[in-house]
Amino acid sequence: MNIMRWFRRIWDKYGPARRLVIVDGDALPDVLPARDLVLTRDDGDDWSVGMRCPCGCGERIEMMILEGTLPRWDISINEVERPSLHPSVWRKSGCRSHFWVREGRILWCE
């Protein structure tokens, strides 16, 4: 494992936790924050969660949370407003990252 990858995994596990930013509408903004997750909400319905890939490639990841869509993720927020996603996020193309978001932290799958 190279040193940058090792450092990124340590930072994701022990660095500042990611927050959830809520935006109005059914589409993600053009520019996503570097670390935080963005939840789109339209008329009280949650549509999707977006984030930049934590591996460092910076690719945009959008996960649908709207009922009836496939694939679909569930999001939960703990008492200090840190997000968790279920199931894991596994990019099938590009960097092919595979990770969990748990209480605002990235937990990498090997």
Residue given tokens 């748990």 in the structure block: 102
Please tell me the distance from the alpha carbon of residue 93 to that of residue 27, in angstroms, as a whole number.
22
Q: Return per-residue pLDDT of the chain as tens, 110 residues.
A: 588 888 888 888 788 889 999 999 989 999 999 889 999 999 888 999 999 999 888 899 999 998 888 999 999 999 988 999 999 999 998 899 999 999 999 999 87
Please tell me the distance from the alpha carbon of residue 57 to that of residue 54, in angstroms, as a whole number.
7
Residue 85 CB-half CA count within 13 A: 30
